[in-house]
């Protein structure tokens, strides 16, 4: 059997028009990936961390004010600035387009955190701990990270692997929406999103729902932004990091006075 697991290029689309800023994705990620509970102390030390965060921006001045929300997670850049700066190869690009972090190898120089333009890499300043009654709820598929290392969103690689195993056990050789129904290999944030603002898929799969957006954005890069047919754009496109996450612009039906809106 050809090594089918390499025939993937995972990507995500975040529709800002659908995002309500409910933070369900944040909690789902927290539970799925064994992220320590962000206590009051952690917030006061400014060390609270989430693998996906909802950035909230205010537009306009009170009382004509609107809240804007943007989920930001690891962009799994094809040209990731975090990768070349790690002295021990703790972070590298795997064959499925994922930017992976090897916890066991990381020594904690934190250069990758500095070199990530999206600020999605998080450092464990303390040893993580949970209340005793919660220790049995930890996800057995995900490593509990120790202190002193950097961690970040994995696109829930454990779910992808589980899906691949299931496909293999059913005699298939390719993980996609046909072999595993209902996107059961989606990351926790995608699965939890009540408005389906997040979409996950395989760019190597021609039927994937996210593919048209990527094709459109790739066909009109950089300055060709205005020729795009979809609302797609990449975060900090001018950095040329080629993220595997595409954002769809908000459709502002009732723009604030003085604002053009889209």
Q: Where are the beta strands (DSSP E) in 37-141?
A: 53-59, 66-72, 91-93, 99-101, 122-123
- The residue whose two tokens read 């387009």 is 97
Our CB check for other proteins shows the closer of 78 and 216 to be 78
Residues 36/128, Cβ–Cβ less than 8 Å: yes
Residues 223/237, Cβ–Cβ less than 8 Å: no
Give the burial string for 133-165 (b: 16+ CB within 10 Å, else e). Answer: eeeeeeeeebebbeeebbbbbbbbbbbbebbbe
Q: How far is the CB of 15 from other proteins (least distance, A)?
A: 19
Tokens of 115: 């070199």
Q: How far is the CB of 179 from other proteins (least distance, A)?
A: 32
- For position 107 contacting other proteins by CB under 8 A, the verdict is yes
Q: How far is the CB of 23 from other proteins (least distance, A)?
A: 14
Q: What is the Cα–Cα distance from 205 to 210, expressed in whole angstroms?
A: 10
Our CB check for other proteins shows the closer of 185 and 247 to be 247
Q: How far is the CB of 44 from other proteins (least distance, A)?
A: 10
36-95: which residues touch other proteins (CB under 8 A)? 45-49, 55-57, 72, 81, 84-89
Q: SS3 of 184, please?
A: coil
- Residue 11 CA, chain-centre distance (Å), reads 9
Choose, by CB under 8 A, the member of 116, 210, 245, 248 that binds other proteins. 116
Site string for other proteins, 124-153 (x = CB under 8 A): xxxx------------------xxxxx---
Our CB check for other proteins shows the closer of 4 and 239 to be 239
Q: Cβ contacts of residue 223 below 8 Å, gap of 6+?
A: none
Choose, by CB under 8 A, the member of 22, 66, 111, 130 that binds other proteins. 111
**Contacting residues toward other proteins, per CB under 8 A:** 45-49, 55-57, 72, 81, 84-89, 105-111, 113-119, 122-127, 146-150, 236, 239
């Amino acid at each position: 059997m050809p090594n089918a697991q390499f025939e993937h290029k995972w990507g995500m689309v975040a529709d800002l028009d659908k995002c309500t800023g409910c933070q369900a994705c944040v909690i789902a990620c927290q539970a799925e990936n064994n992220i320590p509970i962000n206590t009051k102390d952690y917030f006061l030390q400014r060390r609270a961390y989430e693998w996906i965060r909802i950035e909230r921006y205010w537009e306009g001045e009170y009382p004509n004010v609107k809240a804007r929300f943007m989920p930001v997670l690891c962009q799994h850049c094809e040209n990731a600035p975090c990768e070349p700066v790690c002295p021990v190869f703790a972070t590298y690009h795997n064959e499925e387009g994922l930017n992976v972090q090897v916890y066991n190898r990381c020594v904690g120089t934190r250069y990758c955190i500095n070199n990530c333009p999206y600020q999605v890499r998080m450092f464990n300043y303390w040893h993580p701990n949970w209340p005793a009654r919660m220790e049995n709820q930890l996800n057995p598929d995900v490593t509990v990270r120790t202190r002193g290392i950097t961690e970040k969103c994995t696109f829930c690689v454990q779910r992808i692997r589980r899906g691949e195993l299931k496909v293999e056990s059913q005699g298939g050789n390719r993980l996609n929406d046909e072999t595993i129904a209902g996107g059961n290999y989606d990351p926790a944030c995608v699965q939890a999103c009540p408005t389906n603002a997040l979409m996950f898929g395989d760019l190597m799969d021609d039927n994937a729902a996210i593919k048209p957006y990527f094709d459109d954005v790739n066909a009109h890069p950089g300055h060709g932004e205005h020729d795009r047919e979809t609302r797609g754009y990449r975060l900090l496109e001018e950095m040329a990091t080629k993220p595997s996450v595409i954002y769809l612009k908000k459709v502002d039906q009732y723009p604030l006075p003085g604002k053009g809106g889209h």
